Amino acid sequence: MDLQLRDRAAIVGGASQGIGFGIARRLALEGARVAMLARREPSLLEAAERIRAETGASVVPVVADIRKAEHIRRAVEEAVKVFGTIHIVVNNDGAPPVGRLAGFDDAAWQRAVEQNLMSVVRMVREVTPHMRAAGGGSVVNITALSSIQPMIGFGLSVATWAGVIGLAKTLSLELAKDRITINTICPGLIDTPRLSTVFTRRAEQEDRDPSVVVEEVKQSVPIGRLGTPEDIAALVALLVSPLGSFITGTTIQVDGGGRQSLL
């Protein structure tokens, strides 16, 4: 199926690995031009070259820390300088630390707000003028299942990503007249380097084989497997394409049936 994304200009955060890399790759495979953002230059350059070699697409690596306003501003400026405009933005980054309330001071909370919430506020603020000038655009926020299903120890993520969901719902109304859609995806257990690290640590703490831990987690997912970055990327590609132009203000869980709720 042709998603009609050829020559569309996209910015993808956290694109050097995991979900962000999968999204950048999928958009490039669909013919989009992609600015890949990440904090670590060596891994970002390698990731960009991999996608460029596979797809032949126009791929621009931009070293940026989305927790910093000036980095977001510069990243958008660089993307516009190369592509001429911006049609698509995928807000994606890692998650704040896990821990109980007493373990985090005000500085930790402020860092979480900057990383999860303010990064979205600033990015949308920077790109909307370009999207308006282009006649429309699409924003997709990648959060996590914890943003709609609170979990012990995930207070930093739950509080800040819930803010992202509320912001997206509000902006979907505010930006609709400009033909700009904004949606949020909440991934469940996705097979990424970060999740592998979590499994390894858990296995060490419990003195067990990591493969056994992974298998147990897989069996806890109704569909019987971990998700992949490609699972998330496929939905992103649909949402930012003309085929998804009537979908806005929604929050979609991609978790293999893990969250069992009517709402």
pLDDT in tens, 183-196: 999 999 998 888 78
How many Å is the maximal CA-CA distance in the chain? 57
- pLDDT for position 196: 82
- pLDDT for position 190: 92
Does residue 182 register a pLDDT over 90?
yes
Mean pLDDT of 140-159: 89
Does residue 150 register a pLDDT over 70?
yes
- pLDDT for position 201: 79
More confident residue, 235 or 147: 235
- What pTM value is reported for the model? 0.94
> How far apart (Å, rounded) are the C-alpha atoms in residues 12 and 123?
11
- pLDDT for position 154: 86
- pLDDT for position 263: 64
- pLDDT for position 259: 84
Integer CA distances (angstroms), 131 to 126, 135, 204, 242, in order: 10, 6, 48, 14
Does residue 61 register a pLDDT over 70?
yes
